[in-house]
Amino acid sequence: MRRQASTRRDGWEKTVEEQGLAYHRSAHPVHLARPYWDEGVHYVFGMDEVLDLERQVEELHAMCLEAVEHVIASGRQGDFAIPAWARPEVEASWRRRDPHVFGRFDLRYDGRGPAKLLEYNADTPTSLVESSVVQWFWLKDVHPGDDQWNSIHERLVQRWRELPLQSGPAHFAWTNMDETGEEAMTLGYLQETAEQAGLVTAAVAMEDVGWDARALRFVDMENRVIRTLCKLYPWEWAVADPFGPRAVAQQVSMTWIEPLWKMLLSNKALLAVLWEMYPGHPNLLPAYLDGPRDLPAHIVKPLLGREGAGMRVVTPAGTQSTEGDYGAEGHVYQEFRELPDFDGWRPVLGAWVVGDEAAGLGIRETSGLITDDTSSFVPHRIA
């Protein structure tokens, strides 16, 4: 693994926008000189290195599924701040093995040792368009003879074909709260992969999903019953909304992507449970729910935090924190290891899982200790 300078393509801004990255300006803080999509640099991997990372990712995913079983069997959903009324339905969703499509691991990796799990974005993973599409076309334009860890698109199409979906259109729902356009473009891309798999689809805003009181079903603006709903609206938000009990009660009659049981994987309490189950595992960092214990350097993460908000890094040299409204739900205390330094920039590897298989890689860089919404996405290749 090495970081290498690149020459940006002429008119790259228009190119990436035409490929679906229409939000590369709006989703990035305007005061930053560095663009969100930065093809002025990229990372280079060896094939053996990527094959080994694929193995590690699939092992982590299998461990996470074992952790879901452990949490449910031992009655520990309360550690994940899941409301008591929703816990039986989370368990039922898992027992049915309600189908899942995709997720993204965030990993610390320096090219020398095992990757370390930082978190699992298993319910509402983003950076999908840039990982699957935009960096692939960059590779074809700039390094056509090289390869890339990227079978995301093909695996998504195949995964939609595998799902036992009910008849009728599959609905893809964004929320009007997203002013950047990232959520709409991500769901639009997912909808495209579903259509390539042969599904009939429809787009709808979450705010426009209605309730048919007679049929006791969710409907769209044309009063069509919604039988499959793919969303990026987090389950922890949904269960707290007025329609939450209805959504939870509809688990049997609808297919939700992602399913309700993914609440247990998208929650950072998972990190502590994994460390309990697999202490000393080379892909894990020590993590606890009751405090930092004997960790001299640790990071305090809200269980439901997003984009690096509300975190606190504590080291013998001092404390750094980020602003955010998360944390009322509780925290996890994870050993802190600085992200590796490549020319003053620190990458986080976003390793994608589709179904139960490793599918590709996206890389975000930051100059600080915490990867937040100021990070930039950079492409990669396999030499």
Tens digits of residue pLDDT in 216-263: 999 999 999 999 999 999 999 999 999 999 999 998 999 999 999 999
CB 185 within 8 A of CB 129: yes
List the beta bridge partners of residue 313.
299, 320
Other CB atoms within 10 Å distance of the CB of residue 145: 7
Taking residues 167-183, report their average pLDDT: 91
The confidence score (pLDDT) of residue 247 equals 95
pLDDT in tens, 49-69: 999 999 999 999 999 999 999
Taking residues 60-82, report their average pLDDT: 98
Least confident window among 20-24, 119-123, 130-134, 249-253:
20-24
pLDDT in tens, 322-338: 777 777 889 999 999 99
Find, among 62, 9, 54, the residue nearest to 147 by Cα.
54
Confidence of residue 373 (pLDDT cuts 50, 70, 90): confident
Token digits of residue 335? 């050993």
The confidence score (pLDDT) of residue 71 equals 98
Question: Is 296 a residue whose pLDDT tops 80?
Answer: yes
Taking residues 2-15, report their average pLDDT: 96
Taking residues 164-169, report their average pLDDT: 91
The confidence score (pLDDT) of residue 29 equals 66
Taking residues 76-93, report their average pLDDT: 97
Token digits of residue 237? 């938000």
Taking residues 7-23, report their average pLDDT: 94
CB 134 within 8 A of CB 293: no
CA angle in degrees (0–180, nearest 5) for 4-189-354: 75
How many percent of the chain have pLDDT more than 70?
A: 98
> What CA–CA distance (Å, rounded) separates 166 from 227?
6
The confidence score (pLDDT) of residue 30 equals 64
Q: pLDDT: is 168 or 94 the higher one?
A: 94
CA angle in degrees (0–180, nearest 5) for 213-214-217: 65
Question: Is 122 a residue whose pLDDT tops 70?
Answer: yes
Question: Is 136 a residue whose pLDDT tops 90?
Answer: yes
Taking residues 128-143, report their average pLDDT: 98
Find, among 37, 127, 78, 169, the residue nearest to 352 by Cα.
127
| Three-state helix/strand/coil letters over the chain | CEEEECCCCCCHHHHHHHCCCCCCCCCCCCCCCCCCECCCEEEEECHHHHHHHHHHHHHHHHHHHHHHHHHHHCCCHHHHCCCHHHHHHHHHHHHCCCCCCEEEEEEECCCCCCCEEEEEECCCCCCHHHHHHHHHHHHHHHCCCCECCECHHHHHHHHHHHCCCCCCCEEEEECCCCCCCHHHHHHHHHHHHHHHCCCCEEEEEHHHCEEECCCCEEECCCCCECCEEEECCCHHHHCCCCCHHHHHHCCCCCEEECCHHHHHCCCCHHHHHHHHHCCCCCCCCCEECCCCCCCCCEEEEECCCCCCCCCEEEECCEEEECCCCCCCCCEEEEECCCCCCECCEEEEEEEEEECCEEEEEEEEEECCCCCCCCCEEECEEEC
Question: Is 159 a residue whose pLDDT tops 70?
Answer: yes
Question: Is 211 a residue whose pLDDT tops 70?
Answer: yes
Taking residues 29-56, report their average pLDDT: 92
